Structure 1
Amino acid sequence: MPSLKDLAKECGVSVATVSKALNDQPDIAAATRERIRAAARRMGYLPNAAARALKTNRTYNLGVLFVDERQSGLTHEYFSAVLDSFKVEAEKRGYDITFINHNISGRSMTYLEHCHYRSVDGVVIACVNFYDPQVVELVNSDVPVVTIDHVFNNRMAVLSDNVAGLKALVKQAWACGHRRIAFIHGEKTSVTENRIAGFYQACEELGLEIPEEYVRDGVYHDVERCAEETRALLALPQRPTCIIFPDDFSALGGYNALAEAGLSIPDDISVMGYDGIYLSRVVNPSLVTYQQNTAALGQTAADKLIELIEHPRVTLPEQIRVSGRLLLGRSVRSL
């Protein structure tokens, strides 16, 4: 692999000039900088990570804290898409990725200890119990942190606009003539709280009176629990004409429960999902759902985390909401 000296010899300049060009320092001519960078690309030059860390006091390594209690791991299509977008943007900016966990070679350590052990420059936190004391310890430490879909006081957060998502679904159902709309939501998280708020806001704006028994406590990504709550809705004296499920994957439980009851979607009852994953397009009938913008969520999280790392004195914590879009399918009937 070529060295700085090799690049300097190739370009007929000093090693110091090569270093300045590669580090985008302003005190060399633009033409010289571009000539050196072109030579670096042509010769396949890569900076030595250890040397760069010494020079910049950064490791160019970002931590990812991802703990999925449903044990679906990176097969969880929504979160895997967000993290893939985060990874692509981070690598484009010259950063590597390390997953943060509790154990290294059988030794237990806190999330913060692992961050220090791996010398990460910053951490993105997604899909964890945000009330876990170890997560709170990490957020309150000196490690730059960006959270996804959760807000901590005075910390950077990137949020999918869950209020707008539920409002869009309710208003679409209302536009199709539905007035008895049920909502099976996920477990208690800030995401769920926002979705419940969006549901009731839309109902209030439309003048809909929703019985308490139409709003059910479900679990994200849990087919069996969704089927159970669907059966409870069907057992009501006046069942809903449209059911909004917690997410597209758990909606499979609703599909199964409705089929077991001899009901046809959408002729007998209409259904909606959330997330807009590939599954929503291939189930029969295709699911009306709200597609979260996973590409923008991951890219924005990487951008903001790197801003915190590279420009800590001028980057202020903020809450950035990312909008999605309604995806129409054949699972809702016009009454």
Structure 2
Amino acid sequence: MVTIKDISAACGVSVATVSKALNGYNDVSKATKDLVCKAAEQMGYFPNSQARALKTNRTYNLGVLFVDDAQSGLTHDYFSQVLDSFKTEAERRGYDITFISHNIGNKSMSYLEHCLYRKVDGVVIACVDFSHPAVIELVNSDIPVVTIDHVFNNRTSIVSANRNGVRELIEYAYNMGHRKIAYVHGKKSAVTESRLGSFYKTMADLGLRVPSEYIQEGAFHEPPATGAATKRLLELPDRPTCILFPDDFAAIGGLNVIEEFGLSVPNDISVMGYDGIYLSQILKPRLTTFKQDTKRLGKEAAVQLAHLIEQPLTSLTERIVVYGKFLEGASVKNLNEK
């Protein structure tokens, strides 16, 4: 294994100078830094993690707390993309990733205990029950934390522009001539509350009434739940002409039920999704949806968490909003055309 002594000999500078250059100290000239860093890269040098941990009092290990109700794990299309982006940026900054859970072998422990056991420098929290006592305990601890799609007053959060996304979808359906628009939303969460509030607000701004039966609870990433909700909507005497689903994957449950009823999309009924996952753009018909910027969500979470760890005295609690993009598909019929 290449050591800093080997780099020192190759560059003709002292070991101390090599160490300072590799760690970005300002009392080393740019020319010397470039020389040392280039040599380190060419020689395949990797810093000793244990020595680095002793020197910096950090482990360069980030925790990821990710638990969704559907237990889809990393097959969850939306969050897998967010976490992949988080992982890429974290690794670029020299950090490893550890998934946080309640269990290590046969031993049960809290999320905070697991973080302390693994000595993580910080944690990103996404897709969990944010009201769970074990999550609250971790958020209120001294460990740096960044949350995704949930806001705590004392923690930095990275959130999607959910209100804007829903508004764009509803306004599009309205401009296509739809006045009877239903919404199958996910289970109670900050995301659901934000989107549902935007749905009601947008409908009111457009002068549209929302019958209570047009609002149905399904679940994120669970086609069976959205399928059952869709069945209830289709059985109404005055059924909607357009249905907004909680996410693209869950929309599959609705599409299956619509087919079972002998109806076609968009000729008989229109549908819209949310997230803009790859699957939504290869469905027939292609789904009208709102694409979330998963790359920026994950990268921003890693950037902010690294900043909290490396520069705690200059870090401020922030709420960073990440905007997405409307994707027009072929799943919404234009009722304005005669």
Q: TM-score of the superposition, structure 2-length normalised?
A: 0.98
Which amino acid in the other structure matches residue 175 of structure 1?
Answer: N
| Distance (Å, rounded) in 1 between the aligned partners of 2:256 and 2:177 | 25
- Note the alpha carbon deviations across 1:8-29, whole angstroms, 9 max, x for none: 1111111000000000000111
- Corresponding position of 1:292: 292
- Corresponding position of 1:146: 146
- Corresponding position of 1:216: 216
- Note the alpha carbon deviations across 1:265-320, whole angstroms, 9 max, x for none: 10111100011111101111111001111000000000000010011111101111
The equivalences for 1:19-98 within 5 A come to 19-98=19-98
- Corresponding position of 2:239: 239
| Distance (Å, rounded) in 2 between the aligned partners of 1:235 and 1:52 | 64
Aligned pair count reads 335
| Distance (Å, rounded) in 2 between the aligned partners of 1:67 and 1:293 | 21
Which amino acid in the other structure matches residue 25 of structure 1?
Answer: Y
The equivalences for 1:13-24 within 5 A come to 13-24=13-24
- Note the alpha carbon deviations across 1:196-239, whole angstroms, 9 max, x for none: 01111211221111111111111111111111111111111211
Instruction: Note the C-alpha offset of 1:108.
Output: 1.3
Instruction: Note the C-alpha offset of 1:105.
Output: 2.4
| Distance (Å, rounded) in 2 between the aligned partners of 1:256 and 1:100 | 35
| Distance (Å, rounded) in 2 between the aligned partners of 1:109 and 1:254 | 39
Which amino acid in the other structure matches residue 327 of structure 1?
Answer: L
Segments of 4+ moved more than 3 angstroms: none
Which amino acid in the other structure matches residue 120 of structure 2?
Answer: V
Instruction: Note the C-alpha offset of 1:30.
Output: 1.0
- Corresponding position of 1:108: 108
2:148 aligned with 1:132, yes or no? no
| Distance (Å, rounded) in 2 between the aligned partners of 1:105 and 1:280 | 38
Q: Secondary structure at the match of 2:243?
A: strand
Q: Secondary structure at the match of 1:159?
A: strand
Instruction: Note the C-alpha offset of 1:69.
Output: 1.9
| Distance (Å, rounded) in 1 between the aligned partners of 2:76 and 2:29 | 49
- List alignment gaps of at least 5 residues for structure 1: none
- Corresponding position of 1:167: 167
| Distance (Å, rounded) in 1 between the aligned partners of 2:222 and 2:119 | 36
- Corresponding position of 2:192: 192
- Corresponding position of 2:258: 258
Instruction: Note the C-alpha offset of 1:152.
Output: 1.0
Instruction: Note the C-alpha offset of 1:104.
Output: 1.6
The equivalences for 1:269-284 within 5 A come to 269-284=269-284
Which amino acid in the other structure matches residue 12 of structure 1?
Answer: G
Q: Secondary structure at the match of 2:248?
A: coil
Q: Secondary structure at the match of 1:136?
A: helix
| Distance (Å, rounded) in 1 between the aligned partners of 2:40 and 2:228 | 61
- Corresponding position of 2:326: 326
Q: Secondary structure at the match of 2:183?
A: strand
Q: Secondary structure at the match of 2:81?
A: helix
| Distance (Å, rounded) in 1 between the aligned partners of 2:47 and 2:230 | 57
Give the root-mean-square deviation of aligned CA atoms.
0.8
The 10-residue stretch of structure 1 (296-305 or 230-239) with the greater mean CA deviation from structure 2? 230-239
Which amino acid in the other structure matches residue 302 of structure 2?
Answer: A
| Distance (Å, rounded) in 1 between the aligned partners of 2:35 and 2:15 | 14
Instruction: Note the C-alpha offset of 1:81.
Output: 0.4
| Distance (Å, rounded) in 1 between the aligned partners of 2:219 and 2:92 | 36
Which amino acid in the other structure matches residue 283 of structure 1?
Answer: L
Which amino acid in the other structure matches residue 170 of structure 1?
Answer: I
| Distance (Å, rounded) in 2 between the aligned partners of 1:235 and 1:255 | 15
Instruction: Note the C-alpha offset of 1:246.
Output: 1.1
Q: Secondary structure at the match of 1:249?
A: helix
Q: Secondary structure at the match of 1:207?
A: coil
Q: TM-score of the superposition, structure 1-length normalised?
A: 0.99
| Distance (Å, rounded) in 2 between the aligned partners of 1:90 and 1:225 | 35
- Corresponding position of 2:313: 313
Instruction: Note the C-alpha offset of 1:247.
Output: 0.9
Which amino acid in the other structure matches residue 166 of structure 1?
Answer: V
